[in-house]
A and B are shown apart, each in its own frame.
Chain A
């Protein structure tokens, strides 16, 4: 019964398809969503015959749904683990842009400096008040409110969580042992919000809250961000420049699966990351497959110009050249797509 209905619907859909724009569906990371929504809107003008429907449900969702085969592409700021990649060996990571995870807060301090120990302490639940001695020591002269800290984290499977917990695992042995890092972890404390949107929303509405979100979300909402003490011992504010510097010294592996948290360099912001689109090495659908590859080519070239105005750092030159080679190696039903040389 159900099958006939579905088959009938599919047939009707096939008839209607002629002449309509192709819809390519993707889901995943909320971290780059402000940029991706801009990209897909702009690309709609470049290629009106192709539409990209992107739903920012979280990186975990991007990974699960491309594994289940329910989307044409996934998006994640967390590189797939070996185990996840083992389930979908034909998936390629395509880095699109760099972003920073910032600690944003809802408290009356115009500026705030945090050390790795304080961040870990807050998220482990050990530092529970804003006027804690450790926070005061890092912020001489700053008036700290005598309030409880409301810790906010993600409730969904998240690449932002992966980046943040990856950072905490590097800087805090206790965190590494007790919690570890992944797209979803067992939080020792705190409230959960859905997506970067949800976490930002909760921080904004909850006095005393602290949360970790992508730079663009804090900036666009006028929320303050903490400067973090980096690997070199300096306090660095999250900016496009300090994000780019975090990626400057990176040794990029062939499959792009790399972490640049706690990077070296005097001006490097310590919680930065590439974000990826996940696509099939060989696309099964000829139309959507080619559309996807052409979009990616556009994104790493023309698209990069939209990054900085939205507070993302463009890909380093060397990475763009490598991604070009990767895109040329992608195929649609076994055949490569001819791509224009880089301008």
Chain B
């Protein structure tokens, strides 16, 4: 503290008026910077709204959202195959990533030796910082062939009676896209889950152990129920990331605007179709329909993220009251 005080600048013997002008300028600058954020948000909505309006007008909001055809020749544009593809790949990603992330977090926080924590945490952080085009590269040359030659035949043999695991085994498709998203959102879910676990009051856990519970029973009885909402929030945050992911998905999903029950089939996602077609659409309606897809994507992401934040907030607030 003393050292910090010594660093204080000496007050300039300036006349009061210029000081006040300086203060005012400074605070105007800060407000402007803050206001710029509001401006940017307004701009995003305005730009997308204006670009998307012709498509919504020409096609009708309901018909656009529920339409299954994406036919630039006849000017029919439906968003459903892309919404479907986005949701299915995200669902696969969550189903795969959530158990792994929770298991990993529990092991690090409650079970494993504390020595293990820093290196694993570092590895997971590294996973989070890898650019998505590199995931796409890895997906295209490593994951897709593996899915085609190993995962799909295995799933087809074990669970082929389910419509989910039927059809030609190409490698590119919902399954590969879902798996690569799982790898990408794992760090997000794991990081938030660990934060939630850390915020659980130790008294709760010690109580369970004192009653003779094993470590797993303590986790089941004391930890998981308390952390449930927080983990759900972590999942939704991961989901938010999965929904907007573009490059890695467009490189492995197969880019086919169709709806298939089978996870082996090729599909399309909202960001992928925008990346592929936005610079290339030749009719104004086509371009506008792509902007409308962007608006749909924006809407879905915003709703999910708001929900996630509320959930995480509620958990920590409840825990705050408890402890």
Contact status B282-A206, CB under 8 Å: no
> Which A residue's beta carbon lies closest to that of B141?
A205
Give which listed residue, B76, B168, B268, contacts A150 with CB less than 8 A: B168
Contact status B281-A202, CB under 8 Å: no
Contact status A150-B170, CB under 8 Å: yes
> Which B residue's beta carbon lies closest to that of A62?
B280
**Chain A 204-233, CB within 8 Å of chain B: the 1/0 string?**
011111000000000000000000000000
Q: Which residues of chain B are within 8 angstroms of A150 by Cβ–Cβ distance?
A: 168, 170
Contact status B256-A186, CB under 8 Å: no
Closest CB-CB distance, B168 to chain A, in whole Å?
4
Contact status A157-B281, CB under 8 Å: yes
Residue A238 CB within 8 A of the other chain: no
> Which B residue's beta carbon lies closest to that of A76?
B282
Residue A43 CB within 8 A of the other chain: no
> Which A residue's beta carbon lies closest to that of B254?
A191
Contact status B74-A184, CB under 8 Å: no
Contact status A182-B72, CB under 8 Å: yes
The range of chain A's interface size is 35 or more
**Chain B 255-290, CB within 8 Å of chain A: the 1/0 string?**
111100000001010000000110111110011000
> Which B residue's beta carbon lies closest to that of A201?
B140
Residue B36 CB within 8 A of the other chain: yes
**Chain A 182-205, CB within 8 Å of chain B: the 1/0 string?**
111111011111100000001001
> Which A residue's beta carbon lies closest to that of B284?
A87
Contact status A185-B145, CB under 8 Å: no
Contact status A191-B282, CB under 8 Å: no
Closest CB-CB distance, B160 to chain A, in whole Å?
15
Contact status A185-B72, CB under 8 Å: yes
> Which A residue's beta carbon lies closest to that of B173?
A191
Contact status A64-B280, CB under 8 Å: yes
Task: State whether A184 and B72 are in contact (beta carbons under 8 Å apart), knowing that A1-B36, A61-B279 are contacts in the complex.
Answer: yes
Closest CB-CB distance, A69 to chain B, in whole Å?
14
Contact status A64-B281, CB under 8 Å: yes
Residue B234 CB within 8 A of the other chain: no
Contact status A187-B73, CB under 8 Å: no
Query: Considering residues B73, B74, B255, B268, which has the most beta carbons from chain A within 10 angstroms of its beta carbon?
Result: B255
Residue B71 CB within 8 A of the other chain: yes
Residue A148 CB within 8 A of the other chain: yes
Task: State whether A185 and B73 are in contact (beta carbons under 8 Å apart), knowing that A155-B255, A192-B255, A206-B172 are contacts in the complex.
Answer: yes
Task: State whether A57 and B280 are in contact (beta carbons under 8 Å apart), knowing that A150-B168, A186-B257 are contacts in the complex.
Answer: yes
Q: Which residues of chain A are within 8 angstroms of B258 by Cβ–Cβ distance?
A: 189
Contact status A180-B170, CB under 8 Å: no
Alpha-carbon distance A179/B255, docked complex (angstroms): 18
Alpha-carbon distance A193/B36, docked complex (angstroms): 39
Q: Which residues of chain B are within 8 angstroms of A185 by Cβ–Cβ distance?
A: 71-73
Residue A84 CB within 8 A of the other chain: yes
Contact status A181-B281, CB under 8 Å: no
> Which A residue's beta carbon lies closest to that of B167?
A148
Contact status A156-B276, CB under 8 Å: yes
Within 8 A of B (CB), among A124-144: 128
Contact status B277-A182, CB under 8 Å: no
Give which listed residue, A181, A194, A205, contacts B144 with CB less than 8 A: A205
Residue B64 CB within 8 A of the other chain: no
Give which listed residue, A128, A148, A157, A187, contacts B277 with CB less than 8 A: A157
Q: Which residues of chain A are within 8 angstroms of B148 by Cβ–Cβ distance?
A: 206-207
**Chain B 30-69, CB within 8 Å of chain A: the 1/0 string?**
0000001000000000000000000000000000000001
Alpha-carbon distance A50/B247, docked complex (angstroms): 33
Closest CB-CB distance, A50 to chain B, in whole Å?
25
Q: Which residues of chain B are within 8 angstroms of A193 by Cβ–Cβ distance?
A: 255
Contact status B73-A180, CB under 8 Å: yes
Residue A65 CB within 8 A of the other chain: yes
Query: Considering residues B73, B256, B279, which has the most beta carbons from chain A within 10 angstroms of its beta carbon?
Result: B279
Q: Which residues of chain B are within 8 angstroms of A84 by Cβ–Cβ distance?
A: 282
Within 8 A of B (CB), among A103-143: 128
Alpha-carbon distance A202/B140, docked complex (angstroms): 9
Query: Considering residues A185, A187, A192, which has the most beta carbons from chain B within 10 angstroms of its beta carbon?
Result: A192
Residue A60 CB within 8 A of the other chain: yes
Q: Which residues of chain A are within 8 angstroms of B36 by Cβ–Cβ distance?
A: 1
Q: Which residues of chain A are within 8 angstroms of B287 by Cβ–Cβ distance?
A: 64
Task: State whether A64 and B282 are in contact (beta carbons under 8 Å apart), knowing that A179-B73, A185-B73, A186-B257 are contacts in the complex.
Answer: yes
> Which B residue's beta carbon lies closest to that of A206?
B170
Q: Which residues of chain A are within 8 angstroms of B69 by Cβ–Cβ distance?
A: 186
Contact status A191-B73, CB under 8 Å: no
Residue A267 CB within 8 A of the other chain: no
Can you name 23 A-B residue pairings with CB atoms under 8 Å? Answer: A64-B279, A64-B280, A64-B287, A148-B169, A155-B255, A157-B277, A179-B73, A180-B73, A182-B73, A183-B280, A184-B73, A185-B73, A186-B70, A186-B73, A186-B76, A191-B255, A191-B266, A192-B254, A192-B256, A194-B255, A202-B172, A205-B141, A206-B172
Closest 4 pairs (CB-CB, A-B): A192-B255, A157-B280, A186-B71, A60-B280
